[in-house]
Amino acid sequence: MPIKVQNELPVKEILESENIFVMDEDRAIHQDIRPLQILILNLMPLKEDTELQLLRCLSNSPLQLDITFMVPATHRNKTGSLSHINKFYVHFNEIKDKFFDGMIITGAPVENMEFEEVDYWKELVNIMEWSERHVTSTMYQCWGAQAAMYHFFDIQKRKLPEKMFGLFWHRVNERRIPLVRGFDDKFMCPHSRHTEIPMDEVRKHPEITVLTESEEAGFLIGMADNGRKIFVQGHPEYDRLTLDKEYKRDTDKGMEIAVPKNYYPNDDPKNTPLLTWRAISAALYANWINYYVYQVTPYDMYGTPDFGKK
């Protein structure tokens, strides 16, 4: 699938080296089709790492995607390049009058804070409310999923006794739902978090369909509003070495952290991790784009439920 990005986006060269078809703005002008408009609210501190992970995941579709990256205006990024953000990202007030076929709201390293303590919380609430009228389907990831569950369903996140860190087995609950089409009955997926969406609270809301879960890691994938809201508490977008980088970053700081579970062969950090979740990740993003964005969104972005309401 061609992914349309800005001409000079640094990760474009990496994607092209991996034989992923990336279309720049100049070539896209000559395409006589309407690409799907995908907005990514990137709340992660290492912007380029997250860009690369998500663009890889979104490449498994024959459809053309036009990607817009956004950051909160009410938060100052303390890591990464400010010039990169200024050049390749927009703020909410620049796109609030537009409509998007799909949106991804990423996780953020703020899970130990109360939601209202996060400096951009009010802006995030405005964006989530705006998405009800301006986005066909929104995928909320990790802390983003916790934030959406809290805002829309008043489900408070719960602090874990120790970090949920590593690869964990999950099972599929609702195989008839297209979002998990192609999933194995049991599969591995990465988690890296200190809090969780409590399953007992989720089950009190019949409007939330729990699609996959884990005996050890709990909630992974769910949906509401016929797929207009997708919740993913884990990190299927992670690369082979993302957990490795997190583990070595924390150990280098002298922090006490357990070796990520089921990740390194023989639990030895000197060994290269096996990539055991790529197929599930590809299926998840391809299914989301196909069944909950492309086949639902109108050609002119009007006609979807709630679109056009003020």
The residues, ordered by sequence, that sit 6+ positions from 191 with a Cβ below 8 Å of its Cβ are 164, 165, 166, 167, 168, 217, 233, 234, 235
CA distance 174 to 180: 8
C-alpha torsion angle, residues 80, 86, 137, 159 (rounded to 10) = 30
Beta strands in 29-185 (DSSP E): 36-41, 65-70, 89-90, 100-105, 135-141, 158-172
Give the residue from 235, 233, 226, 227 showing the smallest Cα distance to 202.
233
Residue 259 gets which letter from DSSP?
A: P
Q: Residue 212 in contact with residue 183, Cβ under 8 Å?
A: yes
Give the residue from 105, 282, 299, 98 showing the smallest Cα distance to 180.
282
205 given a catalytic annotation: no
142 given a catalytic annotation: yes
Q: Which of 111, 142, 170, 196 is catalytic?
A: 142
Measuring CA to CA, how many Å separate 294 from each of 229, 256, 282, 300, 301? 15, 45, 16, 12, 11
237 given a catalytic annotation: yes
Q: Residue 75 in contact with residue 119, Cβ under 8 Å?
A: yes
Measuring CA to CA, how many Å separate 152 from each of 71, 108, 128? 21, 18, 9
Q: Which of 111, 123, 196, 237 is catalytic?
A: 237
Give backbone dihedrals phi and psi of 27, rounded to 5 degrees, phi first: -70, -35
The catalytic site residues sit at 142, 235, 237
